[in-house]
């Protein structure tokens, strides 16, 4: 099998969990979860962290455990009371899960899909204004980044919720890109589980990161976040 790939058993566990999403079943299959899901995903995250550190020419002190989200769902305010998620997910960045900015990326692996995400998903009010101003003042650069062939092939477009109106500060700008109306700025690349089985997922994810780097640097420059 390719280096760092996940075995079919990883995905088969979640397929069965989807039909038996309760604590009793999970406890009965905990050893299987540890062997087929938890440990293989930790090994994959460790490989991605090493590749990320090498690509960024930096030292990353976080461990896989600092990056991987719990499999338990937060059901406190949800009508869906099933206790477990049907995938494994992690944030790859110098700060692991503590990172909220564009200095890394998020990925998940499950039987329905595997996915890569990067960008700024929840900018604060001041950061949102900074990003919008940076786009408005650097429209040509923004268009070049978001219309690059590899970017469009991999991600399609920069995603995010939009507002109908802009603050008064933007009235002086003409022909603003529609992205200025967004409140989020992120990209996604969806993959079939077979990609993580038949290829090296660490390499696949790092190729996505390479393709999204111009966008993440643009966002980092806007918000003065060092990536």
Cβ-based neighbours of 8, under 8 Å, separated by 6 or more: 197
Residue 121 lies in a domain: yes
pLDDT digits (tens, 9 = 90+) for 90-101: 999 999 998 878
Residue 1 lies in a domain: no
Please give the tally of structural domains in the chain.
Answer: 1
pLDDT at residue 226 in the model: 43
Residue 3 lies in a domain: no
Task: Take residue 104 and report the two structure tokens written for it.
Answer: 């890394």
- Give residue 211's domain range: 8-223
pLDDT at 182 over 70: yes
Residue 130 lies in a domain: yes
Residue 206 lies in a domain: yes
Residue 2 lies in a domain: no
pLDDT at 225 over 80: no
**Which neighbouring-strand residues pair with 116?**
107, 189
Residue 111 lies in a domain: yes
Average pLDDT in the 124-132 region? Answer: 94
pLDDT digits (tens, 9 = 90+) for 138-170: 999 999 999 999 999 999 999 999 999 888 888
The pTM for the full model equals 0.93
The closest of 112, 110, 65, 105 to 88, measured between CA atoms, is 110
Cβ-based neighbours of 94, under 8 Å, separated by 6 or more: 58, 60, 61, 62, 103, 104
Residue 39 lies in a domain: yes
Of residues 28 and 168, which shows the higher confidence score?
28
What does the alpha-carbon distance between residue 38 and residue 14 come to, in Å, rounded to a whole number? 12
The CATH number of residue 113's host domain is 3.30.930
């Amino acid at each position: 099998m390719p280096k760092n790939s996940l075995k079919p058993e990883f995905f088969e566990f979640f397929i069965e969990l989807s039909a038996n999403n309760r604590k009793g079943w999970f406890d009965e299959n905990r050893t299987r979860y540890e062997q087929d899901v938890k440990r293989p995903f930790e090994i994959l995250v460790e490989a991605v962290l090493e590749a990320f550190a090498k690509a960024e020419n930096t030292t990353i002190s976080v461990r896989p455990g600092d990056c991987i989200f719990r499999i338990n769902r937060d059901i406190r305010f949800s009508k869906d009371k099933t206790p477990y998620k049907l995938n494994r997910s992690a944030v790859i960045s110098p700060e692991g899960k503590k990172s909220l900015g564009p200095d890394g990326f998020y990925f998940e692996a499950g039987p329905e899909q595997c996915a890569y995400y990067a960008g700024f998903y929840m900018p604060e009010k001041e950061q949102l204004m900074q990003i919008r101003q940076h786009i408005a003042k650097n429209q040509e650069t923004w268009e070049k980044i978001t219309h690059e062939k590899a970017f469009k092939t991999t991600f399609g477009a920069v995603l995010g919720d939009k507002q109908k109106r802009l603050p008064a500060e933007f009235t002086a700008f003409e022909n603003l890109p529609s992205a200025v109306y967004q409140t989020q700025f992120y990209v996604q690349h969806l993959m079939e589980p077979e990609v993580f089985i038949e290829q090296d997922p660490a390499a696949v994810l790092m190729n996505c990161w390479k393709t999204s780097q111009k966008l993440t640097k643009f966002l980092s420059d806007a918000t003065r976040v060092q990536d």
